[in-house]
Amino acid sequence: MKQKVLIVSCITLWIVLIFVFSFYSKIIFQEGNPWPEIKGITKTTLRIEKVVEIFKTEKETWYFTKSGSGREDFISFMNEKELLFVDQMGAGYFFRDANQKNITVIHSLYTRYFDIWKVYWSEN
């Protein structure tokens, strides 16, 4: 009897997973590999961190926040890194460091509940 319940539970779980992935695959994979976003969702939802780094290269870094207070949290986070908020133009945010280097940030929505902040470090 326990084996039948286990088999039915596994089949039900697979059906639910197939359903979720078939209808939400465009959202889940919109930024490529979804694992960094899953890490960001987990940490921001559990209130472990307000701003979570999810991707990093030499010239860019991506951060994840919850929508709503995400803008204020992100600007505070950048100020803690000693980067001064200069201006905003649409989805673009501009910061400057102590050496007068410009940092450009592009804000985009991941879903209506989460934001992605793409920070581009300039060479000048």
Q: Are 55 and 62 in contact (CB under 8 A)?
A: yes
The strand order across the sheet containing 114-121 reads 52-56, 60-66, 114-121, 102-109, 92-96, 84-89
Predicted confidence pLDDT, tens digits, the chain (124 residues)? 788 888 888 899 999 888 877 787 777 777 777 778 888 888 888 888 899 998 888 899 999 999 888 889 999 999 999 999 999 999 999 999 888 888 999 999 988 899 999 999 876 5
Q: Minimal CA–CA distance to 61: which of 108, 112, 116, 99?
A: 116
Looking at residue 111, its pLDDT comes to 85
pLDDT score for 53: 92
Domain layout of the chain by residue ranges: 1-30, 33-121
